[in-house]
Chain A
């Protein structure tokens, strides 16, 4: 995107108008997120500018409150357990999907990604009724199973995409040299597709970490998660403590984004002929 030196007046006007529009859009995307960070350091309880002073009191409130701490713990437990299950199941399925063609593959694929498409209220309601029948409402097991189902499609998609560039003859080479399938997987396939698997796992973790509707329906007071806690806070009385929690979640998103970017660049470097 560059303005040619011979551009006419009209072209110049158009060029800067375009930049303003696109730049405005980008600001619209990122500003609302950045604006709330300073509010979490406000010394008074007002959620507006200018700030009354700088303080960590809202972070102290979050970290000293038993409810918030438990919510963070719950989110981490449910998130990592469901991400682990989703990654194992999703990676296996992605390997199967890329290894052979069979009749009904399209339908199988559609079922595997369906948790991503079905509106969340419908999933949550269906799971709520189902868990009521088998006694899994208000249990960690129930939430972990539900979040595994919601996160698995992301693993399937990212790992399938990574496997698309995978050379199957490497597996055959390893097998012909006497490695059994398990060894082939762990010492040949996994190291090569690891970036895809890790991105998928992060996707699944983020899905669980951000999920609130299933939690609203199925969790008991014991299983309150961070998003659930935020939901109640926004609904009842929005305080800078919520902004502090939000800021922590933004930091988490930044960390996630950096890891994914690193993985993307790494695989780009590996794939491009040097």
Chain B
């Protein structure tokens, strides 16, 4: 160390034409830092673009899953008074008075229906209750409305549960939609509880999504494995030709492949008429708008994503291992299971997880090929966003799907990062 420093100083003595006396180490560091900054400057445009046009919009949407603006915004005084009410005894006179006043205002501003819609998600009947009461109060204009006025307007107000619903919805944030996505809710006792069996649909849909994705992933691996093996172990001329059969569907539009299956699987479609022509079946099978069609179309969509990583892994496995095992006396089947199969595990893992991630996110294909009983999470997210306009629930279900995807992708990244499995 000392020697090095004397060396530099002696050098600067000998070479006075060096303009600065900054040690090389510092200069190197500076150059390194410059390189880093330049790299960041190159990445910045896309980074900011994806952040602004993609990540932040999704984050804002996720916020809607806990955002609860209706009561706070359109019944502002009521929201404050609801905090002072204990939620167990009869509503205070202050509460009933401001609630009536807020309702009349909301009726005039035409926001009462928005509030009613929000409360209706929690307890059905709230929409009509709110609009009726608001309309009546707008006519009678009670100065200091009491419980009696409310009961007179609609006798349901005598029941405490409607007031409790109102209190539950009075915060600016709510766990309501997220709990809803897991078929749970906060009941009148203020505890988290499962909703009645008849209303519990979303956990059912979540597991249906996982089940369909699991079935098609497993089937794709089973069908894809021999194909990948054939591609990896044949002459490059043949394998190039066969690879075409894998890559053509891979590059063909999803809509084209979906429309092909709609045509093929129809009642009088190509598959049914060939099977009947061959005498295998007597009457047409129902495949379209039913589960078999969804499975078939999904497997067709996913196969290339399974075959390509498997092929990439198998290509790197030396045939010498199998030969060695067999020459040592292992039965080919044993050699395959104990020697070959373990080496393909990274490919099976990567291809399988990738297929599963894609499968749980598909929307178009189940929407066009499946029946009502085959719709998956994506469909319900789109449905709540487009038809029922329950954006909170759409976002909460979206969060469930997104978190599931992110967990799976982390696992996928670990697998491919460690083993270097490549696509294509």
Contact = CB atoms under 8 A, between A and B. Distances in A.
Interface of A: 1, 11, 14, 18-19, 21-23, 25-30, 32-33, 35-36, 39, 47-49, 89-90, 92-93, 95-97, 99-102, 108, 111-112, 114-115, 117-130, 145-146, 148-149, 152, 156, 206, 209-210, 212-213, 217, 227, 230-231, 233-235, 238, 242-243, 246, 249-250, 253-254, 256-257
A96 B39 contact: yes
A5 B364 CA distance: 50
- Among A21, A243, A256, residue most surrounded by chain B Cβ atoms (within 10 Å): A21
Given A25-B223, A30-B248, A130-B57, A212 B43 contact: no
B410 to A, nearest CB: 9
B381 A249 contact: no
20 contacts: A1-B233, A21-B226, A25-B224, A30-B248, A32-B260, A47-B263, A48-B266, A48-B269, A92-B42, A118-B405, A123-B58, A127-B57, A130-B56, A217-B385, A234-B368, A246-B260, A250-B252, A253-B253, A256-B251, A257-B248
Given A1-B230, A108-B47, A210-B254, 7 more contacts: A22-B230, A26-B245, A32-B260, A33-B249, A122-B381, A129-B64, A149-B50
A14 B226 CA distance: 12
A30 B245 contact: yes
B58 A122 contact: yes
Contacts of A130: 53, 56-57, 60-61
Interface stretch (B162-170, B338-346, B394-402): B394-402
A120 B57 contact: no
A229 B199 CA distance: 36
Contacts of B234: 1
Given A35-B260, A92-B45, A235-B368, A121 B304 contact: no
B378 interface: yes
B368 A26 contact: no
A249 B36 CA distance: 43
Given A121-B378, A152-B46, A210-B254, A29 B304 contact: yes
Contacts of B40: 96, 100, 102
Contacts of B53: 127, 130, 145-146, 148-149
Nearest to A145: B53
Interface in B206-258: 223-224, 226-227, 229-230, 233-234, 242, 244-249, 251-258
A90 B43 CA distance: 8
Given A118-B402, A125-B398, A149-B49, A243 B54 contact: no
B176 interface: no
A97 B44 CA distance: 11
Interface in B90-123: none
B221 to A, nearest CB: 12
Contacts of A235: 368
B247 A115 contact: no
Contacts of B44: 96
B227 A25 contact: yes
B371 to A, nearest CB: 14
Contacts of A48: 266, 268-270, 273
- Among A125, A149, A256, residue most surrounded by chain B Cβ atoms (within 10 Å): A125
Contacts of B398: 121-122, 125
Interface in B270-316: 270, 273, 300, 303-304
B261 interface: yes
Contacts of A126: 54, 57-58, 60-61
A145 B48 CA distance: 13
A99 B31 CA distance: 13
Contacts of A101: 36
A37 to B, nearest CB: 10
A233 B259 CA distance: 9
B279 to A, nearest CB: 17
Contacts of B263: 36, 39, 47, 238, 243
- Among A29, A30, A93, residue most surrounded by chain B Cβ atoms (within 10 Å): A29
B193 interface: no
Contacts of B157: none
A209 B252 CA distance: 11
B151 interface: no
A255 B259 CA distance: 20
Contacts of B405: 117-119
Contact of B49 (A27, A152, A234): A152
A23 B262 CA distance: 24
Contacts of A117: 357, 405-406, 409
Interface in B383-414: 385-386, 391, 394-395, 398, 401-402, 405-406, 409
B255 A231 contact: yes
Contact of B252 (A18, A23, A33, A47): A33
Contact of B50 (A96, A100, A102, A111): A111
Given A35-B260, A117-B357, A119-B401, A93 B57 contact: no
B51 interface: yes
Given A32-B264, A111-B47, A100 B38 contact: yes
